[in-house]
Amino acid sequence: MTMESSVVAGSEPTVEPRGFELIEREGLETNLLEVSMGPHHPSTHGVFRMDVKLDGETVTELRPVFGYLHRNHEKLAEDMGYLGSMPFTDRLDYFCSMTNNWAYALAGEKMIDLEVPERAEYVRVIMAELTRLVNHIMLVGFFVNDLGALGTPLLYALREREKILDLFEWASGARMMCNYMRFGGLRNDLPEGWLTKCREVVDAFPYFLDEYEKLLVENEIILVRTQNVGVLKPELAINAGITGPMLRASGVNYDLRKVDAYGVYDRFPFRVPMGEVGDCYDRFMVRILEMRESIKILRQAMDELPEGPIMGEAPRVFKPPAGEIYGRIEGPKGELGFYLVSDGTAKPYRYRVRPPSLVNLTVLEDLCLGHKVADAVVILGSVDIVLGEVDR
Amino acid sequence: MLVQFANWVQGELACSPALAKIVGILLAAVPLATVFALCFAFTTWLERKGLARIQNRIGPNRVGPFGLFQPIADGIKMITKEDIVPRSSDHFFHLIAPLLVLVSSMACLAFIPFGLGMTMSPIDTAVVFFFAILGMNTLAVFLAGWASRNKYSLLGGMRAVAQMVSYEIPLVLSAVTVVMMVGSLDTREIVGAQVVEGWATSENSGLRFLGQIAGWHVFTPWGFAGFIIFFIAALAETNRSPFDLPEAESEIIAGYVTEYSGFKFALFFLGEYIGAFAVLGLAITLFLGGWNGPNFQPWWSSDPHALLIPGFVWFFFKMFVLMAVLIWIRGTLPRLRVDQLMSFAWKFLLPLALVNVFVAGFLFHVAKEDRVWASVAAFVFLYLVAKGLSRMNQSDAPAPRKYHFAE
Amino acid sequence: MPVSDETPVDLAPVLESFPSLEVEKGTGALITQPALVLEVVQFLRDDPRYRLDYLSNVTGIDYLATVRKEKRVNEEGKTEIVKIDEPPRMDVVYHFYSMSEKRGLVTLKQRITDRDRPVATSLMPLFRSAEFQEREVYDLFGIDFQGHLDLRRLLMWEEFEDFPMRRDYVEPDDYEYEPTPHGEVLEKAKTHAGLGEGGSEE
Amino acid sequence: MDLLGSGIFKGMAVTLKNFAMTYFDRGRKERLPTVQYPEAGDTVTLFTRNFPFLIYDGEEEVDGMRCVACQICERECPPACIYIVKEKDENGKFVKRPKVFDIDVSVCMGCQICVEVCPFDAIVMDSEFEYSKEDRFGDLLFNRDELLKSNDYYHKIHPEEAQARDANLAAKKAADEAKKKAREEKAAAAAAAKAAAEKEASEKKDSPEASEPVAEEPKAEPAAPSENHAKAESEAKEKPAAEETPVEEPAAATDETEDAKEESSGGSEGKETSEEPEETAGSGEDDEKKAEEGEGVS
């Protein structure tokens, strides 16, 4: 594989080739073992590839390679109206279609100065926090699966996720590709009885979490496998633009729900769990603790859910004035931003998704160097990527 | 029954000793192969069902009642599947490796006494032979990894060698205690030593009942520690979770079996399970009283050695219980990392096994009279040693953490 | 409506220190030349009045040569529509926030006038988060980032030649045959079927 | 660490509990959520959506079709999986019915945008999900007749939604009727003046009455050619004015504004995309004429 980039318009880019070197050890002449983990590897979370160079089992170099799922979402969006991109945002991070919808709706609403009815805001919070539960529970499941636990925690996670997906289906018509939010509100109101069922699910969730923690948190094997593995220093985390639970696991307090207080998040008192070491265990625990906070928010939001319309005075097809906007929310994986540039027509001139998964991958090599292959898989699991979002 | 049948056939063929010998071997080997192939089929079913229930699924339930015929369906699938051999692999060794795994595992079974007089190859040095042949497994696995010409296979093969060689030492050392105490390498004698003779043949049915259990080595301090060490090492030796690194699917696809398909893969599968049976069989023989179990005097017989439940029933019962534990462990635990696995073997299991040998020697030679107190002291001592060892190994002992929250 | 609690950022100090910076009308973005961008960003990052330590988003925008219409008041006091020729250009857009001070948002644009050979300055020496995102811009827009340590294609495959996010990108004419209700696609595909490569079996 | 491997034993207790609980009735509900699919029923909910279908009222499939081939869904469909050709009668005039209405369900992503944009409640989402077919391509391209399903079926799968839609349609019809009546009166009154004004209009400007936006109701007869022409011109003037306002009228308002929005969006789209079916070329007019054709149907 050539390390050089293809020559393009403009002068040749400066590339420092990180070569393939022979290492001498006690008279033995050995080569590094170059392994291409992926794109069809059981635990690369989709079609993702890590070009790994191994010294024995120790990772000496790791290059993430992706784009296998690339469909140029941004180009597609430039070719259709603002609303037309909404169902495509579902497919970015297919675990979290609700938050993706919200982020896009938020950007669009900023652009044309739309008011969102209060009930819609509350329902959005409920949906977003349910999505956070889904995402984190699946992440923890897959994470432990990457540790080699033969899927038992994963299947428990799937079992719980199923209940939430049923709720999504009931409200929006689809389990994963919800396409539920609209500029200025929601597509439809919650059906009758939904809230009761949702309360049931949310009330049962802490019991499940207790059991889950009992199964995993004190397990010695998980402790030795994850503690002090893949330590991310807060300075590097900030510099590399890491967001979401991964950043907070490194001890940086930056939660957009607090910082931006978009929607009605300023009305919910909740805490933001912080890690101290920034290793895989912290990333894993911060997510579990975040789920508990999400449940608090959910309970409060369901209690205070006001009556009223769910859709404001919003046009379905609109032409925003020329300008640009950057709207962001705290997605379950990190800061999900939508950057929209309008030239005054009904289609966005430029539509950009700021994918948290992609940016969080930046530090993958830094985290993995010096660890074993098995750790590389675990670290990748703790970074939490979804290739639909990374590749777009 | 089979034994009697074999004896009868041999008697009939007494005229030509060579033929009789061949027929005798066949008569012993064929049932062994059939019975354990059936056991394998049943275990795969049990494993799939058990894991499914542990994971809150239903498991196979379409083929036959409760999915009982699933192994047969799987077998047919395996046989009819295309056998893919990588072009650049070493074809000969690629073919030989699965056979070798199966053969070595099967051969190990020859030394296990399944019941009274049901040892296929009753020799004096059975335990030594057992470990010698079991060692061949390692070679076969590495051969598979090497011959496949795949980086994952190679990694898996190397992991297998490292792991199996390291864990063989605590495995053997824990068996050594038993050999020391019994004073014999013959598996039949080891089983016999675990019956409290006086009780087992007494008139009192209660004592008789207990007599079959009370002598199990697992109830002695050195036996208990030995059994645990043996069990953990056996997990590693048979590549079972949480030591299934050579075929760790989340890291190296399927390790040394990555490039195997169809019937060769089935052979690996079979070989691994048979290997597990063999090692568990040895564990039962060494520590769990072999084919002895709580038993009753049959009402039709007054022979003090007669038993109501045949020995092999007890043996297979114990084997499936241990197998269920393996499945349970597999359904619960994540996998260790390579370096942790090795340090666990060398820094924890090996010293503990050595200490255990000393404890066994101490109990055997020094504290013959005061047995109860010596036993308790030995238990405590072994526990403290184990704890101290684990402390020593983990200077920064991983522990659950406390987290703080930002408002 | 969706409010941001972050402190709005006063752009005056940076404009003072770098007089050549412009503020874009309408969007309030800082516009800088590629030559200056590293200094400006370093200033924004390290100056205590900014401390923009978090580079959130990097992207490109491609502008083709267009004629822009603008209403202007001429000397006689009448509004008239003036046609302005906009030269083609490319922008690399950076969105900065401050994690430590909870400040934001500052948008910075590198304006590249030479659209045929776009060369920008990489922010990778200052911000690791630029690594993948600038690679993506390079991949999709063909903007060459000077100073980027590992500038390769990110999403498209290495042999891919064009830059799909450019506005004048023409999609390759390599449809595979597949029954579709869209007649013109079908026609195009049929012409390919005879050509062998790229066509399909049917 | 108080006891060696205590965490491991805790975990094993959890799995043992889960194992055991699956055999009890209470646990079965909680811990054995598997649905034995072909035997057990599906779990279709109120809004469950999969792929769209076309509704017809009454018994006759084609005649009762609600779709009038206005092509809004075709334009709005994000993955562009809808393909519509309008039907013509013998005279080459358009009938308010699609001749071809294809949905490529292998492309369709079930987003429901077509349902939302349809002003006639003619296309709705199905909850059917068993679509396995033998032919990957042909069988998954649903044509008009495959897509047509009765309103009764819709009532069966999504009762509440169907009732709401029916009510909506009825209300709309009533409103249309009233409007039609009013317009007929108005037209009668203005008929004489219009005839005179028409001459002027051909040279100069339209009469002020004609330039106000007139939305034609769906079920109305095609207007007379002369009237049509006048309206086309009036619309040509109206449109740029509509485009200047950046944000258009809200959607969830009366049907009049809705119709107006369709007009403008339809008109502007018609201008931008030249992929309008070439049948319109028969009339030999320019853009305005095309837009008007689109109007005439809606």
So what's the pLDDT on residue C174?
66
Task: Give the minimum alpha-carbon distance from A75 to chain C in angstroms, rounded to a whole number.
Answer: 6
Q: Let me know if residue C155 belongs to a domain.
A: yes
Task: Give the minimum alpha-carbon distance from D44 to chain B in angstroms, rounded to a whole number.
Answer: 22
Long-range contacts of D98-102, Cβ-Cβ distance < 8 Å, separation of 24 or more: D98/D65, D98/D67, D98/D69, D98/D144, D99/D69, D99/D144, D100/C181, D100/D143, D100/D144, D101/D54, D101/D67, D101/D69, D101/D143, D101/D144, D101/D147, D102/C181, D102/D141, D102/D142, D102/D143, D102/D144
Long-range contacts of A77-81, Cβ-Cβ distance < 8 Å, separation of 24 or more: A77/A348, A77/A351, A78/A347, A78/A348, A78/A349, A78/A350, A78/A351, A79/A347, A80/A347, A80/D78, A81/A317, A81/A346, A81/A347, A81/D76
Residue C55's φ and ψ, nearest 5 degrees, are -95, 110
Q: Is the pLDDT of residue A7 over 60?
A: no
Tell me which residue range forms the domain holding C98: 12-63+89-169
Mean pLDDT of B230-250: 84
- Rounded distance between C-alpha atoms, residue C146 and residue C130, angstroms: 12
Across the interface, do D47 and A218 touch by the CB < 8 Å criterion? Answer: no
pLDDT in tens, C159-184: 787 888 888 887 776 666 665 656 66
- Pick the residue with more confidence: D297 or B67? B67
Give the CA-trace dihedral at C184, C189, C190, C195, to 10 degrees.
140
Q: Let me know if residue C36 belongs to a domain.
A: yes
In Å, how far are A163, B405, C71, C154, D140 from A91, measured between CA atoms? 21, 33, 41, 20, 22
Q: Let me know if residue A119 belongs to a domain.
A: yes
For chain C, say whether D193 makes contact (Cβ under 8 Å).
Answer: no
Q: Let me know if residue A61 belongs to a domain.
A: no
- Rounded distance between C-alpha atoms, residue B131 and residue B168, angstroms: 8
Across the interface, do B333 and A149 touch by the CB < 8 Å criterion? Answer: yes
So what's the pLDDT on residue A310?
82
Q: Is the pLDDT of residue B95 over 80?
A: yes
Across the interface, do A263 and C2 touch by the CB < 8 Å criterion? Answer: yes
Q: Let me know if residue C182 belongs to a domain.
A: no
- Rounded distance between C-alpha atoms, residue C98 and residue C9, angstroms: 10
Radius of gyration of chain A measured on its C-alpha atoms: 22
Q: Which of A19-28, D122-131, D193-202 has the highest mean pLDDT?
A: D122-131
Across the interface, do B403 and A286 touch by the CB < 8 Å criterion? Answer: yes
Q: What share of chain B has pLDDT > 90, as a percent?
A: 1
CA B58 from centroid of its chain's CA atoms: 28
Q: Is the pLDDT of residue D41 over 70?
A: no
Q: Is the pLDDT of residue A10 over 50?
A: no
Q: Which residue of B251, B332, B340 is in closest CB contact with A152?
A: B332
pLDDT in tens, D221-234: 444 444 444 444 44
Across the interface, do A215 and D10 touch by the CB < 8 Å criterion? Answer: yes
- Rounded distance between C-alpha atoms, residue A247 and residue A255, angstroms: 9
Mean pLDDT of B7-36: 72
Mean pLDDT of B77-95: 86
Across the interface, do A13 and C53 touch by the CB < 8 Å criterion? Answer: no
pLDDT in tens, B375-403: 777 777 777 877 777 777 665 566 777 78
pLDDT in tens, B210-234: 777 777 887 877 888 888 889 989 8
Nearest to D33, CA basis, from B57, A199, B60: B57
Distance from the first to the final alpha carbon of chain D:
76
Q: Let me know if residue C183 belongs to a domain.
A: no
ipTM: 0.76
Strand partners, A24: A29
So what's the pLDDT on residue A131?
92
Report angle CA A99, A102, A106 to the nearest 5 degrees: 145
Q: Let me know if residue A345 belongs to a domain.
A: yes
Residue A326's φ and ψ, nearest 5 degrees, are -125, 110
Q: Let me know if residue A344 belongs to a domain.
A: yes
Across the interface, do C181 and D138 touch by the CB < 8 Å criterion? Answer: no
Residue whose entry in the numeric block shows the structure tokens 């200047």: D244
Amino acid in the structure at residue B2: L
Chain B contact set for D31 (CB, 8 A): 56
Each domain of chain D, given as residue ranges in start order, spans 8-43, 51-157
Q: Is the pLDDT of residue B299 over 50?
A: yes
Contact A340, A363 (CB under 8 A): no
Task: Give the minimum alpha-carbon distance from C109 to chain D in angstroms, rounded to a whole number.
Answer: 26
Q: Are chains C and B in touch, 3+ Cβ pairs below 8 Å? A: no
For A199-264, the DSSP string reads HHHHHHHHHHHHHHHHHHTT-HHHHHHHTTSS---HHHHHHTT--THHHHHTT----HHHHT--TT
Please, what is the average pLDDT of chain C?
77
pLDDT in tens, B141-153: 888 888 888 888 8
> Which residues contact residue C148 at a Cβ distance below 8 angstroms, ignoring those fewer than 6 apart?
A13, A14, C122, C124, C130, C131, C134, C135, C138
For chain A, say whether C142 makes contact (Cβ under 8 Å).
Answer: yes
pLDDT in tens, C24-49: 777 778 888 888 888 888 888 888 88
Task: Classify strands D148-150 and D52-56 as parallel, antiparallel or unpaired.
Answer: parallel
Cβ neighbour number for residue C79 with a 10 Å cutoff: 9
Range in A74-78, B158-162, D131-135 with the lowest mean pLDDT? D131-135
pLDDT in tens, A260-316: 888 888 888 888 898 888 888 888 889 999 999 999 899 888 888 888 888 877 676
Q: Let me know if residue A46 belongs to a domain.
A: no
- In the three-class reduction of DSSP (H, G, I as helix; E, B as strand; rest coil), residue A139 is classed as helix
Q: Where is D95: in which H helix or E strand?
A: strand D94-104
Q: Which residue of A16, A337, A341 is in closest CB contact with C61?
A: A341
Q: Let me know if residue C138 belongs to a domain.
A: yes
Tell me which residue range forms the domain holding A217: 73-391
pLDDT in tens, A105-116: 888 888 888 888
Report angle CA A330, A335, A340 to the nearest 5 degrees: 105
What pLDDT band is residue B405 in, cutting at 50, 70 and 90?
confident
- Rounded distance between C-alpha atoms, residue C145 and residue C148, angstroms: 6
Q: Let me know if residue A9 belongs to a domain.
A: no
Please, what is the average pLDDT of chain A?
83
> For the domain bounded by D51-157, which CATH number is listed?
3.30.70.3270
Extended beta strands in A265-385, E state: 272-274, 323-331, 334-342, 348-354
Quote the DSSP letter at residue A46: S
Contact C34, C121 (CB under 8 A): yes
Amino acid in the structure at residue B137: N
Q: How many structural domains compose chain C?
A: 1
- Rounded distance between C-alpha atoms, residue B374 and residue B377, angstroms: 5
Q: Read off the CATH number of the domain in which A224 is found.
A: 1.10.645.10
Q: Let me know if residue A55 belongs to a domain.
A: no
Task: Give the minimum alpha-carbon distance from C196 to chain A in angstroms, rounded to a whole number.
Answer: 25
What pLDDT band is residue D283 in, cutting at 50, 70 and 90?
very low
- Pick the residue with more confidence: D207 or A234? A234
Q: Is the pLDDT of residue A5 over 60?
A: no
Task: Classify strands A323-331 and A58-65 as parallel, antiparallel or unpaired.
Answer: unpaired
Mean pLDDT of A250-258: 87
Q: Is the pLDDT of residue A34 over 80?
A: yes
- Pick the residue with more confidence: D205 or D286? D205
Sheet architecture: strand order including A58-65: A33-37, A49-55, A58-65
Mean pLDDT of A51-58: 84
- Pick the residue with more confidence: C140 or D190? C140
Q: Let me know if residue C20 belongs to a domain.
A: yes
Question: What is the reported pTM?
Answer: 0.80
Q: Read off the CATH number of the domain in which C24 is found.
A: 3.30.460.80
CA atoms within 13 A on the CB side of B80: 6
> Which residues contact residue C63 at a Cβ distance below 8 angstroms, ignoring those fewer than 6 apart?
C86, C88, C89, C90, C91, C115, C167
Cβ neighbour number for residue D285 with a 10 Å cutoff: 15
pLDDT in tens, A155-206: 888 888 888 988 888 888 888 888 888 888 888 888 888 889 898 889 889 9
Q: Let me know if residue C192 belongs to a domain.
A: no
Nearest to A85, CA basis, from A71, A60, A105: A105
What pLDDT band is residue B367 in, cutting at 50, 70 and 90?
low
For chain B, say whether D32 makes contact (Cβ under 8 Å).
Answer: yes
Amino acid in the structure at residue A177: M
pLDDT in tens, C9-26: 777 787 888 878 887 777
Q: Let me know if residue C177 belongs to a domain.
A: no
Range in A48-52, A287-291, B7-11 with the lowest mean pLDDT? B7-11
Sign of CA dihedral A56, A58, A59, A60: negative
Task: Give the minimum alpha-carbon distance from A133 to chain C in angstroms, rounded to a whole number.
Answer: 24
Q: What share of chain A is helix, strand, coil (3-state, %, to 5)?
A: 45, 15, 40
Strand partners, C80: C72
Q: Is the pLDDT of residue D202 over 70?
A: no
Chain B 35-74, residues with CB within 8 Å of chain D CB atoms: 50, 53-58
Q: How many structural domains compose chain A?
A: 1
